[in-house]
């Protein structure tokens, strides 16, 4: 395990990193780039008091990340799930990653996060929420964890034989190995897709022959085996993509509706939806405050709108959207009041649109939380930027960053 000593200056925890080998000697061949080290030192070099601590990199590369309201999760290649930040079952103010679960193959946390979900190597679905309570931090008040208790502070078994899942604001979607979609939790806008507005603390069957699911604030999305996108729930911002200006929070669309074909990947924001077609084109529709659809406007779109080409992956967040191009470039678009776009500046852009901005290279996975971003590069290293008031960036500090920086292990 490679260790790094950093000098922390004052309450902002600024530091200068020195790369060392296993014998404690300076090792110029370590994969920390000079510009990264210089960037950390430059930003905080004028602070006064200091102390030294040791940080280190994990031995295993990371393969997936998830971001919540104030919490972050990263899954390594050995099935170990690491967590940092506050809430969602991990405690408070973990400024660097802690080992949270083992034998995990998938981790998800909603774009308007109230809870998080993990799937283990045996296909069991686990749910957990914040020990601080509240609908934004893991409340089970809507039944989204499928249990009777209001708040769940440790992982609990929800279902078995599961291959994918998604955490909405107050509802959960799960996809079993037979391609069946199950939903439970709050159903005010028909987001459970079972033809009613009745809440359900137990799973209800929604549709079959599905390969992926995504849950938003009050709407749901599924991708079937034929490449067709299905949506249901609220449509007040056009998030269902029904090509109409019909708006509804309640009762919403209570059954799935087919809205787009030839799709290979889906993602979801709080009240918007994203799809990548087979020709690698990114499409978006729904809420567009702060330009989070990436079309250069702040106009909500009630039908799929083309955003950019040559896209490999898309990840929707609460107020920020992330797209990875075929050549590994990470593009961001949306709000930037906490530096979550990662463009080097803070920008209050709620009333004006933005276009996708390229901020990081060689990216394979990313996640957007509430005003912050976590990403993985092709070497399996973790990056983070944006809001950091509860340690969700995992760099030992509680200071926002407006550019990508490394996550460290202490």
* Gap between the Cα atoms of 363 and 327, Å rounded: 9
Q: Which residue has the tokens 């959960």?
A: 172
Positions of the chain with pLDDT under 70: 1-58, 88-91, 110-113, 130-153, 245-248, 349-351, 410
Q: Is 294 helix (H, G, I), strand (E, B) or coil?
A: coil
8 Å CB contact between 175 and 212: yes
Structure confidence at residue 113 (pLDDT): 55
Distance between CA atoms of residues 344 and 400, nearest Å: 11
Q: Which residues pair with 6 in a beta bridge?
A: 17, 53
* pLDDT computed for residue 133 by the predictor: 32
Tell me the three-class secondary structure of 108-144, residue by residue.
EECCCCCCEEEEECCCCEEEECCCCCCCCCCECCCCC
What is the C-alpha separation between 105 and 119, in angstroms, rounded? 6
- Rounded Cα–Cα distance for residues 403 and 405 (Å): 6
Please tell me the distance from the alpha carbon of residue 296 to that of residue 294, in angstroms, as a whole number. 6
Show me where the domains of the chain are located.
61-389
| Residue appearing with tokens 């998080």 | 116
d(CA 289, CA 99) in angstroms, rounded, equals: 36
Distance of CA 167 to the CA centre of its chain: 10
The whole-number pLDDT of residue 119 equals 98
Fold category of 61-389 in CATH: Methylamine Dehydrogenase; Chain H (2.130.10)
Closest C-alpha to 316, from 267, 360, 279: 267
Residue 243: per-residue pLDDT? 78
State the pLDDT at residue 195: 95
Q: CB-based contacts of 383: which residues, under 8 Å, 6+ apart? A: 360, 374, 375, 376, 377, 404, 405, 406, 407
Q: What is the pLDDT of residue 19?
A: 31
CA distances from residue 282 to 66, 286, 396 in whole angstroms, order as listed: 21, 14, 35
What per-residue confidence (pLDDT) applies to 89?
A: 65
Q: Report which of 308, 300, 352, 353 is spatially closest to residue 329, judged by C-alpha positions.
A: 308
Measure the CA–CA gap between 372 and 71, rounded to whole angstroms: 10
- Give the pLDDT confidence score for residue 57 in this predicted structure: 62
Rg of the chain taking only CA atoms, in angstroms: 21
Could you give the 3-state DSSP secondary structure of residue 193? Answer: coil
Mean pLDDT of the chain: 82
Distance in angstroms (rounded) separating the CA atoms of residues 324 and 361: 9
The H-or-E segment that residue 159 falls in is strand 156-159
Give buried/exposed letters for 329-344 (b at 16+ CB in 10 A, else e). bbbbbbbbbbbbbbbe
Q: How many CB atoms lie within 10 A of CB 351?
A: 9
Q: What is the pLDDT of residues 285-335, one digit of tens each?
A: 999 999 999 999 999 999 999 999 999 999 999 999 999 999 999 999 999
Sign of the dihedral through C-alpha 185, 387, 315, 231? positive
Q: Are the C-beta atoms of residues 184 and 204 closer than 8 Å to each other?
A: yes
The rounded distance, in Å, linking the Cα atoms of 45 and 42 is: 5
**What totals of helices (H) and strands (E) does the chain contain, helices first?**
1, 31
Cα 392 to the chain's mean position, in Å? 12
């Amino acid at each position: 395990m490679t260790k790094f000593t950093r000098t922390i200056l004052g309450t902002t925890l600024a530091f200068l990193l020195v790369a060392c080998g296993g014998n404690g000697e300076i090792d110029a061949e370590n994969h920390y780039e000079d510009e990264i080290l210089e960037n950390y030192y430059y930003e905080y070099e004028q602070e006064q008091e200091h102390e030294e601590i040791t940080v280190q990199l994990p031995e295993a590369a990371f393969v997936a990340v998830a971001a919540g309201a104030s919490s972050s999760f990263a899954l390594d290649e050995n099935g170990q799930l690491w967590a940092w930040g506050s809430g969602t079952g991990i405690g408070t103010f973990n400024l660097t990653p802690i080992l949270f679960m083992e034998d995990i193959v998938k981790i998800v946390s909603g774009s308007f996060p109230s809870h998080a979900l993990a799937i283990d190597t045996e296909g069991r679905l686990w749910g957990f929420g914040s020990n601080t309570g509240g609908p934004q931090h893991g409340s089970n008040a809507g039944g989204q964890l499928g249990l009777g208790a209001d708040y769940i502070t440790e992982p609990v078994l929800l279902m078995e034989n599961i291959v994918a899942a998604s955490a909405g604001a107050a509802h959960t979607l799960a996809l079993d190995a037979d391609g069946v979609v199950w939903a439970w939790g709050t159903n005010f806008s028909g987001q459970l897709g079972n033809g009613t507005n009745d809440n359900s603390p137990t799973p209800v069957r929604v549709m079959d022959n599905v390969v992926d699911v995504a849950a938003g604030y009050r709407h749901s999305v599924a991708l079937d085996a034929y490449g067709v996108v299905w949506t249901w729930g609220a449509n007040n911002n056009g998030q269902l993509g029904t090509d109409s200006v019909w708006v509804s929070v309640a009762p919403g669309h209570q059954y799935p509706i087919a809205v787009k074909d030839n799709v290979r990947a889906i993602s979801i924001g709080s009240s918007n939806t994203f799809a990548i077609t087979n020709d690698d084109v990114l499409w978006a529709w729904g809420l567009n405050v702060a330009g989070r659809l990436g079309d250069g406007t702040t106009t909500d779109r009630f039908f799929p709108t083309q955003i950019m080409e040559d896209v490999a992956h898309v990840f929707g967040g609460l107020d920020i959207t992330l797209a990875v191009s075929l050549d590994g470039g990470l593009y961001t678009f949306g709000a930037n009041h906490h530096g979550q776009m990662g463009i080097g500046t803070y920008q209050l852009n709620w009333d004006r649109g933005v276009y996708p901005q390229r901020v990081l290279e060689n990216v394979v996975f990313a996640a957007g939380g509430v005003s912050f971003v976590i990403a993985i590069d092709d070497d399996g290293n973790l990056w983070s930027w944006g809001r950091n008031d509860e340690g969700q960036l995992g760099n030992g500090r509680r200071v926002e960053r407006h550019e990508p920086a490394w996550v460290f292990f202490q």
